Structure 1
């Protein structure tokens, strides 16, 4: 049995080589709207039920349908107001079910990355070939509908397997070469991009996608009221901005168009966006832009530092601390 997932080495936050974002920004800021498609009556998965209610799960289905009918427009207009291009964590079935959402997002030059096909069909129980086929189908759907070579991945409903990262990196290379399959959002272990092991040896990056700032975790799991959520976003930013003075950090707000876009929650979210984007030294980016910038400018440097620390755990520490 593994002692840890083995996707990355232990690499302490302290004394890492400095990251400088474009323009000298302290924080790379991105918003990841999860735009998902849920089936009312999906195929049963013995490892996880799609709905907590017996069929038909009309309440759960209909609020998610509200997100695609109403909430998406509301959130899109708000992000556009603050100059934020969304990085869509996309259930690619949406390309067929709601192509108008894809078109509106394309017109605003949003990024599309894969969140599987349906958010009611999980990786749990899939063979490696089945998961490979699912990943490939989702990446091909994005390319066919948007012309984008899919760079990022978030497993459907966070149903990650031991093979997910390797498969996404490999399928991305097969389909799109160096432009496809370069980052994951499925690891929640850092506030900076980090190097990830792949069996193919491909340069692959994890970029921060904070579950604690995720609106579903805030509202549904932790039962936080909108005003408190808005303050949490500001507090999170303030700390990352402070630490970004020493080395660039990343802040992500993962959203859902049926959560943060509800009328009673939107004001607090807007106040947080206004606060964050009012700082000049913030790089408002997409997931792909952050991953590519880190890969092209820092991956090799960071890998050398990681390997040095693996061989000598005291490397990078002040002399008095290493005694």
Structure 2
């Protein structure tokens, strides 16, 4: 692996790209990604990263996240129902066994599911290829058995990866990865097989960053969402952009925060004539079919293609 540049995608300047037009002539593709996660109370020790910030077992951290599945999810689901919005669920696959009622309710509403690993306390660090393949294959089988859906997206558990992760998810016919944050439009990733899209997901407007890292006031977070949207919409009128709001019910659904978040949704919904409200897989499918080839051709025309894929070996 090249330690200075992993070569996961070509450098592709934002200006003067071929125009992206979303279905219906929309300027911006908008999707919401509720992270519906399960954190083990006393997870196995991973030498690269502790399972909890505090010494485990951490009853405080565990119960806060348990509140998200017991209470917060339902509050967020009701909010999205009121506004006719579907979620694209970043799913800890183990939650299928722990909270099947959440899976059933989300599936009944036509929400998408994509894999966020088995548990958010089981990291990819240190996995060998067989273990990583097993996670992917279990994710595909488990979600299909529970919902009838074939998952197409992947977000590594707790944003942890190995050097082979992207190649493996492409090999297993995933359409998009949420693990890279290099752009405000989708972009082809360099994998040995398949057409794997880097999907704009966002750390900047992720509620974990807003609330747990930056300590934002709820109305300040809502204002950031509105301004983020306004800028992307303006640019999307020239060539289609993507906005994702990644959410965690144990944060955004707190009683003192949910009203502020709803105000941001109402602002975005007020521009429905220019916004395609979609799921992650719908955006990826459209991009793969209508935009992939023109992107590759433009990169080659500009002499920016570097060839190969991201990693020289599977180490």
* TM-score exceeds 0.5: yes
* Number of the residue aligned with 1:206: 198
Report the counterpart of residue 130 of structure 1 in structure 2: 131
* Post-superposition CA distance 1:55-83 (Å, at most 9, x none): 32001000000000000000011111112
CA shift, 1:262, in A, is 0.5
| Paired position in structure 2 for 1:18 | 19
Q: What is the aligned residue count? A: 304
Asked if 1:241 corresponds to 2:233, the answer is: yes
TM-score between both structures, scaled by the size of structure 1: 0.92
**Equivalent in the alignment of 1:46:** 47
Asked if residue 182 in structure 1 is aligned to residue 175 in structure 2, the reply is: yes
Deviation at residue 224 of structure 1 after TM alignment:
1.1
Q: Equivalent of 2:224, from 211, 226, 232?
A: 232
Task: For 1:118-197, list aligned pairs within 5 A.
Answer: 118-172=119-173, 181-197=174-190
TM superposition outliers: structure 1 runs of 4+ over 4 Å: none
What secondary structure, in the 3-state scheme, does the structure 2 residue paired with 1:124 have? coil
Contact 2:124 2:156 (C-alpha < 8 Å) held by counterparts: yes
**Shift, 1:167, TM fit:** 0.7
2:76 maps to which residue? 75
Gaps of 5+ in 1: 173-180, 314-323
Match among 207, 216, 229 for residue 208 of structure 2: 216
Give the match's secondary structure for 2:169: helix
In structure 2, the CA distance between the partners of 1:188 and 1:21, relative to structure 1 (3 Å rule), is same
CA drift of 1:231 comes to 0.1
Q: 1:311 to 1:205 in 2, by over 3 A?
A: closer
Once residues 159 and 56 of structure 2 are traced to their aligned partners in structure 1, the CA distance between those partners, rounded to angstroms, is 23
1:64 is matched with: 65
Does residue 300 of the first structure (1) align with residue 301 of the second (2)? Answer: no
Matched, 1:310 2:303: yes
1:176 equivalent in structure 2: none
1:88 aligns with 2:81: no
Q: Output the CA distance in 1 between the equivalents of 2:17 and 2:59.
A: 50
How high is the TM-score relative to the length of structure 2?
Answer: 0.94
Cα distance in 1 between the residues matched to 2:287 and 2:234: 20
